Amino acid sequence: MTYYHVTRTWDGGDLLSLADQIGEKAAIRQFCKQWPDACEIADVHVHYIHLWDSIRDARRMARYFGGRVLAIDGEFIDVTMDTSEPNHPHYVTRGPIPATDITELTAR
């Protein structure tokens, strides 16, 4: 199955969670600053890479938040449904996702 990820900062390498990129404590601080109303889920959420199962939804998210859409070959990654945000449940993985399984899509 193909999944999609929206990012502003992908460097072409493996896709990492925020915690793996900047460390858990810094990631929690950043998460709580950006989403203060959701700070209680930060300690878990910063370890996730968020995925979409629909290219349409991923492109909508990219237009709304800015960024690029990456297509992820999901054959060898462990993906689960995150329901901690009831207004938009979505797929997540703890990563990392190897760069060899990622394709950057052109904007539409």
Average confidence (pLDDT) over 10-21: 94
Interacting residues of 1 by C-beta distance below 8 A, sequence separation 6+: 53, 74, 75
Count up the domains in the chain and report the number: 1
The alpha carbon of 54 is separated from its chain's Cα centroid by a whole number of angstroms, namely 14
Is residue 105 within 8 Å of residue 93, measured between CB atoms? no
Tokens of residue 77, six digits: 């990654």
Q: What pTM was estimated for this model as a whole?
A: 0.88
Each residue's pLDDT tens digit, 45-90 = 999 999 999 999 999 999 998 899 999 998 889 999 988 876 667 8
Confidence of residue 106 (pLDDT cuts 50, 70, 90): low
**Range of 95's domain?**
2-104
Q: Given this model, what pLDDT does residue 85 score?
A: 74
Q: Given this model, what pLDDT does residue 90 score?
A: 83
Which CA distances in Å does 90 have to 11, 73, 98?
24, 17, 21
Residue 89: CATH number of its domain:
3.20.170
